Amino acid sequence: MKILNLDENFKPYGDGISYQKFTFPSGCETHIKLPELKAVSVLITTRIRSSDDVMLLFMATDALRRMNVKYIEVYIPYLPYARQDRIMVYGEPFSLKVFSDLINSQNYEKVIIYDAHSDVSTALINNVESKSNHEFVKSILHEKKNYLIVSPDAGAFKKIFNLCRAIEYKDEIILCNKYRDVSTGNIKRIDCEIYNFKNKDLFIVDDICDGGATFNMIADEFKKRGTCGEINLIVSHGIFSKGLDMFPNIDHIYTTNSFKDLPSHKKLTQISL
């Protein structure tokens, strides 16, 4: 199988086909030029951070089809719109359904994603394979001692329960509950029934960190109780749209390169997929 890496800085399966890509002078039309191929199957890898990345993927797919490539898989580790997996208020689109329909229209033999936000993603996308975050988390925790795993909300608990079984974690899972204003999306407060963490280090585990408001609120609440050691964050998809200096009460952050390559930071460890 040939490899086509649409992000030159993301090569999870090694080097791939050389090609040319550019944007027309209009600034809104992306284009790609592939060399002549005689391959039967191609795996496309990409990190989607904009609509241009979506169009580049579709342009590459069309070019491959026109060269009679019969079998095309695509690896999109961070799935755009995965968090918009339901309609919360009247007047909103079902964003994940819209994006999934676009992907399905390409008739890929396989769509590989990493640590899907919810089961809705895997239900909506045809021929999907969702890779778990188990090995990623295990690589971080395998030498750690005297720690507790934290679920940031009830929605994440099922995934974290399965993770804990996979990595043979034997201690208690700390469950937080967050209360959100559905009309604005803003979190109003965070609750946690456990007050005494017995000076153990805490590892909050989730799939996505965007601005980080949820994790900051959790860390602030835990710090107030004064019964824990370090507070750490493990997220599969690190967006960090407000930067890495916005986490005063989080001691260290672990993430992958599923979304982008992050600048070095004293609080950050980024692990390549």
| Residues contacting 243, CB < 8 A, separation 6+ | none
Domain locations in the chain as residue ranges: 2-131, 134-271
Residue 185: CB atoms within 10 A of its CB come to: 11
CA distances from 81 to 77, 210, 240 (A): 13, 12, 16
Phi-psi region of 116 (alpha: psi -120 to 50; beta: other; left: phi over 0): beta
pLDDT in tens, the chain (273 residues): 999 999 999 999 999 999 999 888 887 899 999 999 988 999 999 999 999 999 999 999 999 999 999 999 999 999 999 999 888 888 999 999 999 999 999 999 999 999 999 999 999 999 999 999 999 999 999 989 999 999 998 888 999 999 999 999 999 999 988 776 666 667 777 888 788 999 999 999 999 999 998 899 999 989 988 899 999 999 999 999 999 999 999 999 999 999 999 999 999 999 999
Give the integer Cα–Cα distance in Å for 117 and 119. 7
pTM above 0.85, yes or no: yes
**N-terminal to C-terminal alpha carbon distance within the chain:** 19
Question: What one-character-per-residue DSSP string does 130-147 give?
Answer: EEPSHHHHHHHHTT--SE
| Residues contacting 73, CB < 8 A, separation 6+ | 1, 41, 42, 43, 44, 108, 109, 110, 111, 112
CATH code linked to domain 2-131: 3.40.50.2020
Domains 2-131 and 134-271 equal at CATH topology level: yes
CATH code linked to domain 134-271: 3.40.50.2020
